[in-house]
Chain A
């Protein structure tokens, strides 16, 4: 067998090719989302149930003192709105991870991964596409919530955007990291029990952390260490045109760590490679 000789000089990829690829992946994710109406509806119904029912019931039980970024006493609904926004993104990130497991089983992931562009870039595009979908869901929720008297300053809708992009990327890359370790679709129930619920409840989404601290100091530390808490706080402050620097740092750092982990896990010489053939055997 002849040894490998180079036929053409490598020409690399132009910025335009990268952009075409990115927009193509986001476009496809958007199309798929539009075709899955049930997914959109359930993504909206979930936080609205919390808002309309849970918050109404708890309004009298939980008193909220004035804590930043709020400047006046607020209704419990107003307090949990940012937590519910983050919850939408948490579910979306995990659902994207589900779709990656599904894609891998169905072979669509193969189509993505045989693209000649660098694999890290492809996965980053996939993350951005998932985040874009979560933004649609969050803004749809905000529009409905506005009629429920959750009325942050108008410019807050704009200032919250970068926070949502960052938290969407963090939760998406966490989902991707988890998906690389899931072999089968059924394991998503495990993700719900061991990732989504603990992350959501051990956070500042439903109750201010000073309240948690009164109840259990240990749980307070768990909440403080939970990246989801910081996603919630980042969104909460940004919605009221403020920056929570600690949360920004935590969310930013976690995004980088999760993303590197996910890209590492999908590296052909590691992660997937340890498994058996993905498709038919033979």
Chain B
């Protein structure tokens, strides 16, 4: 874990190699709701074209972190950067590169699929003709082209999620955040969504931050960030996190990490 970044650090770095700029960088972020501390000195990064799983139980602080990255809440301390753009200082540039799928559904149920997509495109300043073309293309890709004019209300849970992912991709972001996107879906819909998002990483080079508490959604080769009670307990490639925890699999590693933390917290 790193210490909080100094606030007045000069930004005179040598011109960076584009690949070296992290898709997402969280530097010493803390957040409190009154006396309750939801995040404590959280630091980690998401590389471009990588799948990073943010692993934590309910109440670990995942949604708070997402609200900070998407600027729904102001950042109390620390810094959040999206491809180098500071979310607090240049939110427009940062949010332009960001697509997000929130945990609660955020679609207009009474509007059609296309209308939902066009509205989102307008919010990003994408002109109508371009927006219509992209919407049609994305709907075809998620297999809902024939439902374009149906009301969202008539879709299944899995279809709504796919639509939300398509919507998050409309403005062609380079970083995609998904907050427990498979909660409440059946096995098939879950598998579809996971493979779709993994395809985005490999084929389009999108950096993905996937918040979850379901261990079976993570595979070898993913980056892992373990968040527990507002603190990052471990981070790095999945294999390394597991071996450093002295475990055989993610499940055991997670239990050891969080259990150890609870004991340390109790003894200190």
Q: B85 — which chain A residues lie within 8 A by C-beta?
A: 4, 6-8, 10
In the complex, per-residue mask of A6-48: 1 if CB is within 8 Å of any chain B CB, else 0? 1110111110111011011101100110011000000000000
Q: Give which listed residue, B70, B93, B105, B121, contacts A10 with CB less than 8 A.
A: B93
Among the stretches A69-77, A105-113, A142-150, A201-209, the one at the interface with B is A105-113
Residue A3 is within 8 A (CB to CB) of chain B in the complex: yes
Residues B25 and A24 in contact, CB atoms below 8 Å apart:
no
Q: A1-B5, A117-B92 are known contacts. Are A24 and B106 too (CB-CB below 8 A)?
A: no
Q: B1-41: which residues lie under 8 A (CB-CB) from chain A?
A: 2, 5, 9, 11, 13, 16, 18, 20-22, 25-27, 33, 38
> With A and B bound together, what is the CA distance between A273 and B5 in angstroms?
22
CB distance from B124 to the nearest CB of A (A): 6
Residue B202 is within 8 A (CB to CB) of chain A in the complex: no
Residues B21 and A5 in contact, CB atoms below 8 Å apart:
yes
Q: Which residue of A lies closest to B115 (CB)?
A: A31
Residue B110 is within 8 A (CB to CB) of chain A in the complex: yes
In the complex, per-residue mask of A271-282: 1 if CB is within 8 Å of any chain B CB, else 0? 011111111111
Q: A5 — which chain B residues lie within 8 A by C-beta?
A: 11, 13, 16, 21, 84
Q: Which residue of B lies closest to A269 (CB)?
A: B74
Most buried by A among B21, B60, B106: B106
Residues A7 and B18 in contact, CB atoms below 8 Å apart:
yes
Residues B63 and A116 in contact, CB atoms below 8 Å apart:
no
Residues B98 and A114 in contact, CB atoms below 8 Å apart:
yes
Residues B95 and A115 in contact, CB atoms below 8 Å apart:
yes
> With A and B bound together, what is the CA distance between A16 and B131 in angstroms?
14
Residue A198 is within 8 A (CB to CB) of chain B in the complex: no
> With A and B bound together, what is the CA distance between A87 and B116 in angstroms?
32
Q: A20-B126, A31-B115 are known contacts. Are A7 and B67 too (CB-CB below 8 A)?
A: no
> With A and B bound together, what is the CA distance between A7 and B75 in angstroms?
21
Residues A280 and B126 in contact, CB atoms below 8 Å apart:
no
Number of interface residues, chain B, beta carbon within 8 A:
73
Residues B103 and A20 in contact, CB atoms below 8 Å apart:
no
Residues A7 and B16 in contact, CB atoms below 8 Å apart:
yes
> With A and B bound together, what is the CA distance between A199 and B180 in angstroms?
45
Residue B231 is within 8 A (CB to CB) of chain A in the complex: no
Q: A216 — which chain B residues lie within 8 A by C-beta?
A: none
Q: A117-B125, A278-B72 are known contacts. Are A4 and B11 too (CB-CB below 8 A)?
A: yes
Among the stretches B51-59, B139-147, B246-254, B257-265, the one at the interface with A is B51-59
Q: A279-B103, A280-B63 are known contacts. Are A117 and B123 too (CB-CB below 8 A)?
A: yes
Most buried by B among A5, A21, A117, A270: A5
Q: A1 — which chain B residues lie within 8 A by C-beta?
A: 2, 5, 25-27, 43-45
In the complex, per-residue mask of B199-241: 1 if CB is within 8 Å of any chain A CB, else 0? 0000000000000010000000000000000000000000000
Q: B63 — which chain A residues lie within 8 A by C-beta?
A: 277, 279-282
> With A and B bound together, what is the CA distance between A18 and B58 in angstroms?
38
Residues A6 and B11 in contact, CB atoms below 8 Å apart:
yes
> With A and B bound together, what is the CA distance between A270 and B71 in angstroms?
12
Residue A268 is within 8 A (CB to CB) of chain B in the complex: yes
CB distance from A114 to the nearest CB of B (A): 5
Given pairs A3-B5, A7-B21, A279-B103, 10 additional interface contacts (CB within 8 A) = A3-B27, A7-B16, A8-B84, A10-B93, A16-B127, A21-B122, A111-B106, A115-B123, A116-B92, A282-B180
Instruction: Give B contacts to A, CB under 8 Å.
Output: 2, 5, 9, 11, 13, 16, 18, 20-22, 25-27, 33, 38, 43-45, 56-64, 67, 70-75, 79, 81, 83-86, 88, 90-96, 98, 100, 102-106, 108, 110-111, 115, 118-128, 179-180, 213
- In the assembled complex, 11 residue pairs joining A and B whose CB atoms fall closer than 8 Å, in A order, are A1-B25, A5-B13, A8-B84, A10-B90, A24-B118, A24-B121, A24-B122, A110-B70, A277-B63, A279-B103, A280-B179
